[in-house]
Amino acid sequence: MTDRRLPRPSAFADLLRFRTPTLNVTAARLARAHTIADLRRIAKRVTPKGPFDYTDGAAEEELSLARARQAFRDIEFHPAILRDVSAVDTTCTVAGGPSALPFGIAPTGFTRMMHSAGEKAGAAAAGAAGIPFSLSTVGTATPEEVAAANPSGRNWFQLYMWADRDRSMDVMGRAAASGFDTLLLTVDVPIGGARLRDRYNGLTIPPTLTGRTVLNAIPKVRWWFDFLTTEPIGFSTFKGFDGTVAELLDLMFDPTVDFDDLVWIRDQWPGKVIVKGIQTLADARRVADLGVDGVLLSNHGGRQLDRAPIPFHLLPAVRRELPADIEVWIDTGIMSGADIVAAIAMGARFTLVGRAYLYGLMAGGRAGADRAIAILADEVRRTMKLLGVRAVEELEPGHVTQLQRLVPRTV
């Protein structure tokens, strides 16, 4: 038998806990976001379809992106027990300098289309977190503006080689003069990939108002208000472009760039040089032999060649075959701190996150970028503790097994 009694009013007082109300709607939304997927859902609600799809989408059938994300899901962790993990050290040394966490912000193009705060917010958030920030050649802030937004942090510059080499060298020189310490030379862009969402949306720079975009914009009033009441979108390398994203990318990319150009650029840049877009072991070996400081395994977030190799699967072989003094980084498909920890364990020196950061930026500007970094940082620390790891350098391949899904067919 269960003894029952009438509830006392004081019992309700102990059970009822009301949150302190806030008039800041954005802050309230971000406080309820506990994963990058949560930030993505918010971003989709508050951002027009064109800019959101530009961030969220990939090339053609988007198989490269889907496979890269699946590769991180297809892992098994191997935790060690009975370790003192009351404190963990997430710091690392990358490209000759410090980072408070084993990830940085990847270079992203047209960033002020996603949110009017753009790269300035991302750079400031990265600086506050003690991690590097990367500015794209097609970023919507100048190197000088990024340096002003992140004066004490580490800024990196990502370079696309134009057919107009003087223009490429000019912006690269401005980045160096602004204190940027590392160059990310992107080499997987002889032409732009077929990013079909952008084509279907008719995405232009600046965004154009059509009947469809107006209807889509009705519930996104804040985005349009910010867009229309702030400075027009400009770029780190040029001003005044008016056309589709695809047209701009075709203008930007130079299909003649080769290994001789890589050597020439390496000699022009005063700091570290990382080659971004490596997708085969043979190419990793070749650029390492040319004297660069590192390689970034990347298929451009699935935005160039669909069905491209999966960077996370390529990682162990590249790390094993390259000299120890050549850093191996990775991006594409990283959506959680567990993904970052797995990549470091499998041999990556560092990781870059693009979409994960942009979802936060779209969800809430600078505060959203801060929230994205905080979510990933918390997940990194928690995963390390659950693995019984006290410092990033303790992570090693024995902590992770890459489970097998896509296997080459034998005849």
Burial of 176 (0-12, 13-18, 19+ CB in 10 A): middle
Q: So what's the pLDDT on residue 75?
A: 96
Q: So what's the pLDDT on residue 241?
A: 60
DSSP string, 306-354: TT---HHHHHHHHHHHS-TTSEEEE-SS--SHHHHHHHHHTT-SEEEES
**3-state DSSP call for residue 176?**
helix
The pLDDT profile of the chain, 411 residues, written as one tens digit per residue, is 777 777 777 666 666 666 676 778 889 999 999 999 999 999 999 999 989 999 999 999 999 999 999 999 999 999 999 999 999 999 999 999 999 999 999 999 999 999 999 999 999 999 999 999 999 998 999 999 999 999 999 999 999 887 777 888 888 999 999 999 999 999 998 888 889 998 888 877 666 666 676 677 678 888 888 888 888 877 766 665 666 666 677 777 788 889 999 999 999 999 999 999 999 999 999 999 999 999 999 999 999 999 999 999 999 999 999 999 999 999 999 999 999 999 999 999 999 999 999 999 999 999 999 999 999 999 999 999 999 999 999 999 999 999 988 788 776
pTM of the model: 0.92
Name residues whose C-beta falls within 8 Å of residue 270's C-beta, 6 or more positions apart in sequence.
176
Q: So what's the pLDDT on residue 3?
A: 79
Active site residues: 300
Question: What residues form DSSP beta bridges with 350?
Answer: 329
How many whole angstroms from its chain centre is CA 259? 26
Q: So what's the pLDDT on residue 74?
A: 96
For tokens 């060649």, what's the residue? 305
Q: So what's the pLDDT on residue 232?
A: 82
Q: So what's the pLDDT on residue 299?
A: 96
**3-state DSSP call for residue 295?**
strand
Q: So what's the pLDDT on residue 242?
A: 61
How many whole angstroms from its chain centre is CA 206? 23
Domains of the chain, start order: 33-399 (3.20.20.70)
